[in-house]
Structure 1
């Protein structure tokens, strides 16, 4: 097995993670023990600040669970501070064209000359890595996931996937269906997902997809999706607790 998440993504491994909506290092530790391939700290849909991400990143490093983050906003100013904490990469919502993809990559890769450079944070072992080695390590390992979740992006898939530093097109089916004005699930949404998969294959870029249930993974993996975010920590907890109570009440009756 290869050593870092970006290499595994580019090798086409089947990888499964989850969104993490609870700002707790303990949750990170538990999911690490559960052997998830990665986790995505969900700053877009959960109240998680940078100080909380700091502690979650610390837990991720301790347990060996690669973490990314996604958050709201058209600006990419949030990306560099999170990578400085030692996150494995970012997932950026609502990328609709080449300009959007380019801005994300500029914020991640030092080689593009626009990301602020200092090896002093956790990502640089608090100054323990020299600048040249730090630049090379970060550029080799940081993951760029751009989310395709707008109908307008479907006309620009080739240019988004063609941006050299994009590692993965991540499909957000709920927002994409909303943007298209179709049901989730629906044949129209499935056709759009297949269109995104085809663009990824053409460009040699991995495809990711959110699924609410692990039972949907096999179907989409067979179609060419290799990276899955399955539910969230809160959904896992709720489902397990609901099943426990249903079982307990059924047995009592």
Structure 2
């Protein structure tokens, strides 16, 4: 039984950068709407969204009928949570707040079966191997999983090349919001110092031979980062689209008070 592409696979075959959107509502309906939009990938979030294992599984089901790559961001670099999300059938996972190559190596080990890592074996019980309907899943499990880590601190920026070069890490996503906060520039993702740190990280990840990505809801910044070599870019989120869209409706049709 064939499995759908990981983001690593999609990046290797793409002749252009890939663009994706967050699913932060916890809604399978929103996930399906985003999946059918024409975006290249959707990212189901467990860090800043009301998602548990059951709702993530429902959203993976909702997007499975569309030609889009699902990614799941776990809440933390937790070995048990990574095992559970992988067993749900998430084939690409994103781990936030990775600032050192040692942390990256620990993440990689949590996503691989022994002897390469520490992932617990439950393929006969899990959607990941389609309940052992995927021939040779255990033997080829590393090929079925794509692991991304997120750089969001000055230490992560300094260590970006070593993080990207860590065996088992398939790409690095820069998170400008937390990066700005950790630089003392809370809410200023477009500050020149933050943009410079993002550009430095993109360059170092590329120098390590790995695809670099970034979160950039500002179209001007998104285009700038693509020009700098970003290979995958998150350009929006379901909740943000709903919030700004409903605000535009209210502004157009409802007169201001007074």
Distance in 1, Cα, partners of 2:132 & 2:13: 31
For residues 224-252 of structure 1, the C-alpha deviation after alignment (integer angstroms, 9 at most, x for no partner) is 111111231100112222233334459xx
Equivalent position to 1:221, from 222, 226, 229: 226
Aligned partners of 1:86 and 1:122 also within 8 Å: yes
- Find out whether 1:191 has 2:193 as its counterpart: no
Distance in 2, Cα, partners of 1:134 & 1:23: 30
Aligned partners of 2:77 and 2:107 also within 8 Å: no
Give the TM-score taking structure 2 as reference length: 0.87
Moved more, 154-163 or 218-227: 154-163
- Find out whether 1:156 has 2:159 as its counterpart: yes
Distance in 2, Cα, partners of 1:228 & 1:92: 16
- Find out whether 1:94 has 2:102 as its counterpart: no
In structure 2, the partner of 1:24 is 27
Equivalent position to 1:133, from 129, 133, 137: 137
Moved more, 47-56 or 240-249: 240-249
Which ranges of structure 1 fall in alignment gaps of 5 or more residues? none
- Find out whether 1:117 has 2:121 as its counterpart: yes
In structure 1, the partner of 2:71 is 68
Equivalent position to 2:7, from 2, 5, 8: 5
Aligned partners of 1:147 and 1:169 also within 8 Å: yes
- Find out whether 1:244 has 2:246 as its counterpart: no
Moved more, 36-45 or 117-126: 117-126
In structure 2, the partner of 1:200 is 205
Aligned to 2:84, the other structure's residue is in SS state helix
Distance in 1, Cα, partners of 2:12 & 2:166: 15
Aligned partners of 2:162 and 2:208 also within 8 Å: no
For residues 7-50 of structure 1, the C-alpha deviation after alignment (integer angstroms, 9 at most, x for no partner) is 12234641111121112221121112112211111111112111
Moved more, 211-220 or 226-235: 211-220
For residues 55-85 of structure 1, the C-alpha deviation after alignment (integer angstroms, 9 at most, x for no partner) is 1111122334322222333533211111111
In structure 1, the partner of 2:61 is 58
For residues 193-237 of structure 1, the C-alpha deviation after alignment (integer angstroms, 9 at most, x for no partner) is 121112112111111111123443221100111111123110011
Q: Give the direction of change, closer, same or farther, for the CA distance of 1:123–1:103 in structure 2 (3 Å limit).
A: same
Aligned to 1:218, the other structure's residue is in SS state helix
Q: Which of the two has greater helix per residue?
A: 1
Distance in 2, Cα, partners of 1:3 & 1:89: 9
Aligned to 1:62, the other structure's residue is in SS state coil
Distance in 2, Cα, partners of 1:5 & 1:197: 17
Aligned partners of 2:7 and 2:92 also within 8 Å: no
Aligned partners of 2:109 and 2:119 also within 8 Å: yes
